[in-house]
Structure 1
């Protein structure tokens, strides 16, 4: 089997998968037998799979008997009878069991399925199980902080299995490329100890499923409701149908609400005498869907006044009754009644899969295979009865309501109180606790990741990543900034220097730095000799390169130059009394001797007009900005990173 034939069921790119659904495949070891092709797959392998199917259903029935699923029950199918439409093509070449479950808004259903699969692998150690959803390998997502570095959605195809109650990962060293499903299953079967994931991975998965099955029981909510007697009769015989009623109510539209306006099937007499009080069990997700939606009762539906003590039970029961009416009438009128689980459909699937191997009806071999199929169907239907009911609810409802029943059967009964629903309104603490746990897990991962990635030999690490500030050349910052200035910039952005040997663009850097100096230096500086030296101010204009402008200079220009000079002198005098000048680091010129005497009351003039050290100020400001980031991303680290520099973290004071 070539790698091209192996379609990834674990990748998030598989758009075929229905959303809000979980899928699984169960591969028994005997399906990998090398003499499989020499056997008759419809007689030997199929019978083995059917026997295993019944054993698994029997084992899990104690967990699923009283569980109310959100949309559909947990079921398992045999690949030789019903090929999996959502499994990779490679798996359909290997006889196996498979299943699918839509969990919708109730994520607890998905993790309960995961628990059932882990439990199956414990009870049947000679099985390898795959499980995935529309997110791909969601078990890897749950244990992402503990996985080997090479594991990702692209490399995990045909490598992740549940076996013997543990998660197994086929190592990358064994198969450098994507292994075929058959090779991966064979390797897991013969090298269980090598493929078993680390204890930290197992612990992360166990945190999620370890509370089951108790968590599944906790997820059920009992509520006291007032419903029409017909609804009470249905829930008495088939409690699982509450999920379809909630789905019909929650997913209602304008057309289905027309049926609820009449209530012809479940409240034919439109009388309050038809209302009885019962206790209903549903999942917490269903209860939340009913409670969190405002719904006006139909005019024909009798409701007590809001001041009545039982109004809440009546309102909840009204929503359930309307949900029953909407889904029942919609399926009946649209012909959506399912046939799955009936003997006719089951027999047709056997014929399409080649179960009878072209035998003539009525022959002895044909009769023998038919008897085996009928016996298997009778046994499996005992465990999949709920699935059959959910696939054909209209017929089942009609069967129940066709039997005689009365109001007296529901009157005088002791109704247990409703469960506390504070969880519906006080979930913030639980959410914050979950977020805090995730945050701590992420911080622990980051800490270990940094330790493992810390360089061992300092000579292999450049100065930009050194942890010792004393060994770091701060002059690299000024040099890199100068190279950055020399690069080309436009409205599309600036070029970042990555190679210092790259060719420079045509730019007069010397003049650009003179302009920078004119900003940082005062217009005049008094030297010790007493001579005045003119400096260009930020307002000065250089006309030296324009011969035409020199010829056009007149008296008006001289007056303007004189004004600007006087203006700059006055501005400098005003700035002397401020702290602006002290905010810059000045060049360390030698101080004048005392006997030369050039001081004044406000301090040395030379100190006032000492030129600003541009490079030193640049480095100082970068370090201050980087320190204020406290190790988090920020403008200083981002800009230095673009220049290929990385400052060491400041651990002082921590």
Structure 2
């Protein structure tokens, strides 16, 4: 049967068709030999796979994972449903962490451990939030790094975090980024502050993983005790079945067909010790659940009631999980089918038909038939049925209640941590708050230091030590900055490129404009219109002027133009009093009571250069003084540049 358009079940978990689960961490391990040739043999990946699992076994053998254990699968191209890479051979896996965040960081620790033992590997790890290693070190990252620019940049290699620098690779793909990390690893190693932030989260592992385990005494039916004694990790599925129960699965707990086959009167509870994570223990204890009528429970006054109640929750969870997976395994549906069905709806396969209508049912039946013929059906059925088959194998072996009566069961671990969690949470929040405050303080100090280096020393802290020379230095730094379309910018630490100005072209254009208005002063307006030689006429071929000749004429006239331009400015300024307001080098500013009758004549022949800095400071101070302590342009401009002028003392009698 033909598949519905664009609905291959093998690709439903691609990033294009599916949203990543919120509580799942993904990881991929890329060996260096996968970069040299995509024809890497399956034997090489398989050998690496076995070596890694053998290395991790001592660290994970006694650990109870919340939902599923740490696993790796070798993948050679061309894969059909890989979130990591479609063309590079690698090992990959994913882990649902649920409510137990310790599983995620224990996984990170294992990946760092792998990268240390096997130095020729590059590892990626991420979740639905993205590069969560960067989130952990957010206060220490370079400013350019953000969720939009972090794609294919973050790796774990040789026990360190590597970040591919942007100035080396602008938008790298996975192969380019891996090649860079392998060839130029010393450049991609993240800053020590980033390393320390990540290392702080995993430095207590694997000891912290062992502390996260909680042992508790429970009383359960013999069948449950037999299963948990052979496969302790199945307690995770039992807790999951109990915690995620719904109306349909609770019907299985009401009958207890698999784990309470003898009936309530004949069934005897046995005492065993069960190891689980603290998160699992909290999920069992914090929920109230009424025991099914068919389940044998002691009286509430009995000292074993608490142990029996906890065991009842585990037994019911195991029953619900077993029956649910057996049904889903036979149908081959589960989460894979749900994802496939959602992809049908997104693609418009049902054409807006109402669920339950005849045509809708026909299309759904066609989709189910196609799904059963796909490889996804086989994989889903195998995955769902695996715990069921294992339980059947265990219970098929002979066992009895007497097997558990003579066993010495250790006491339960102290669970005071369950009720003192508020203190631990507050401590964690205070630590995060302190980290944020230190970051803000460091950021402010850095900004202040940059402002002082680029703008000049500020006089706001000590008005008595005010130096007028600071104004000239600050203004010089200000005018050297390049403005943008937004206006003038206050000096700060910027690496802006210089303005690319073609001076020769600029002077040629200005000279051509001056020639059009200079030269013959007696020409009428009509003559100007007829004989205009503006830049608009440069391309007019009717004049018969060759471009090279025009260029030579302009070059020859440059010196003449500059002299003429300077003379014209001087002549214009002679008729004004502007020259009287300037202070020249080695000269004091003229006093108000001094006469100025002969000043113009003296200044005409005085070629002493003007002291630009002194005139600038004098003008700004005069403007500031005229404000009389009120806001104004001088104080606003200097304030933006980090300078604060001292206020004038009030005169006596005022």
Q: Aligned-pair RMSD on alpha carbons?
A: 3.4
Partner of 1:98 in structure 2? 92
CA distance in 2, matches of 1:66, 1:339: 31
Separation (CA, whole Å) in 2 of partners of 1:13 and 1:203: 35
Contact 1:227–1:321 at 8 Å: present in 2 too? yes
Secondary structure in structure 2 of the residue aligned to 1:256: helix
What's the CA shift for 1:18? 1.4
Distance change (3 Å), C-alpha of 1:276 and 1:154: same
What is the distance in 2 between the residues matched to 1:390 and 1:437? 42
2:228 is aligned to 235
Could you say which residue in structure 2 is the equivalent of 1:323?
317
- CA displacement 1:4-62 (0-9 Å, x = unmatched): xxxxxxxx9996211200001111111111xx25xxx2xx5321111111110111111
Distance in 2 of aligned mates of 1:194 and 1:336: 53
Question: Is the contact between residue 77 and residue 89 of structure 2 (CA under 8 Å) also seen in structure 1?
Answer: no
Please state how far the C-alpha of 1:174 moved relative to its aligned partner.
Answer: 0.8
Q: How many pairs were matched up?
A: 420
Counterpart of 1:67 in structure 2 is 63
Structure 1 residues 146-193: Cα deviation after superposition (integer angstroms, max 9, x where no partner): 122221111111111000011111112212x21121111111111122
Q: Distance in 2 between matches of 1:424 and 1:432?
A: 14
Deviation track 1:398-455 (CA, whole Å, cap 9, x = no partner) reads: 1111111111100121100000011111011211111111111111111111111115
User: SS at 1:279's partner residue?
Assistant: strand
1:355-504 paired onto structure 2 within 5 Å: 392-454=386-448, 456=450, 468=461
Distance 1:309 1:647 in 2: 78
Aligned residue for 1:31? Answer: 34
| Aligned counterpart for 1:169 among listed residues 163, 174, 183 | 163
Q: Which sits farther off after the overlay, 79-88 or 289-298?
A: 79-88
Q: TM-score, normalised by structure 2?
A: 0.59
Give the whole-Å Cα distance in 1 for the aligned partners of 2:280 and 2:119: 35
For residues 440-589 of structure 1, what are the structure 2 equivalents within 5 Å? 440-454=434-448, 456=450, 468=461
Residues of 2 paired with 1:81 and 1:246: CA distance?
Answer: 37
Q: Is the 8 A contact 2:258 2:319 kept in 1?
A: yes
Compared CA separation, residues 466 and 158, structure 1 to 2 (3 A)? farther
Q: Distance in 1 between matches of 2:446 and 2:33?
A: 43
Q: Quick one: distance in 1 between partners of 2:61 and 2:332?
A: 22
Q: Secondary structure at the match of 1:22?
A: strand
Tell me, in whole angstroms, the C-alpha distance in 2 between the residues paired with 1:134 and 1:18.
Answer: 6
Q: Which residues of 2 match residues 70-149 of structure 1 at below 5 A?
A: 70-80=66-76, 83=79, 85-88=81-84, 91-149=85-143
Contact 2:260-2:267 within 8 A present in 1 as well: no
Range with greater deviation from structure 2 (75-84 or 165-174): 75-84
**1:517-565, Cα deviation, whole Å (9 max, x unpaired):** xxxxxxxxxxxxxxxxxxxxxxxxxxxxxxxxxxxxxxxxxxxxxxxxx
Q: Which residue is 1:45 aligned to?
A: 41
Alignment partner, residue 270 of structure 1: 264
Instruction: State the distance in 1 between where 2:405 and 2:643 align.
Output: 79
What SS does structure 1 have at the residue aligned with 2:284? helix
SS where residue 400 of structure 1 aligns? helix
Secondary structure of the corresponding residue to residue 189 of structure 1: helix
> Structure 2: how far apart are the matches of 1:245 and 1:274?
20
Residue 337 (structure 1) shift: 8.1
What's the CA shift for 1:257?
A: 0.9
What's the counterpart of residue 198 of structure 1? 191
- The match for 1:22 is 25
- TM-score (norm: length of structure 1): 0.59
- Partner SS for 1:392: helix
Aligned mates of 1:417, 1:82 — CA distance in 2: 53
CA distance in 2, matches of 1:165, 1:203: 12
Give secondary structure in 2 for the equivalent of 1:439. helix
Q: Deviations over 1:265-321 (max 9, x none)?
A: 111222364211100011111100000000011111111121211111000000001
Moved more, 207-216 or 430-439: 430-439
* Cα distance in 1, alignment partners of residues 316 and 78 from structure 2: 36
Inter-partner Cα distance in structure 2 for 1:274 and 1:82: 55
Separation in structure 1 between the aligned mates of residue 217 and residue 642 of structure 2, nearest angstrom: 65
**1:564 corresponds to:** none
Q: Which runs of 5+ in 2 are unaligned?
A: 1-14, 335-380, 465-485, 489-626, 645-654
Confirm or deny: 8 A CA contact 1:223 1:279 kept in the other structure: yes
Matched, 1:213 2:216: no
1:180 paired to 2:173: yes
Distance 1:451 1:193, change over 3 A: same
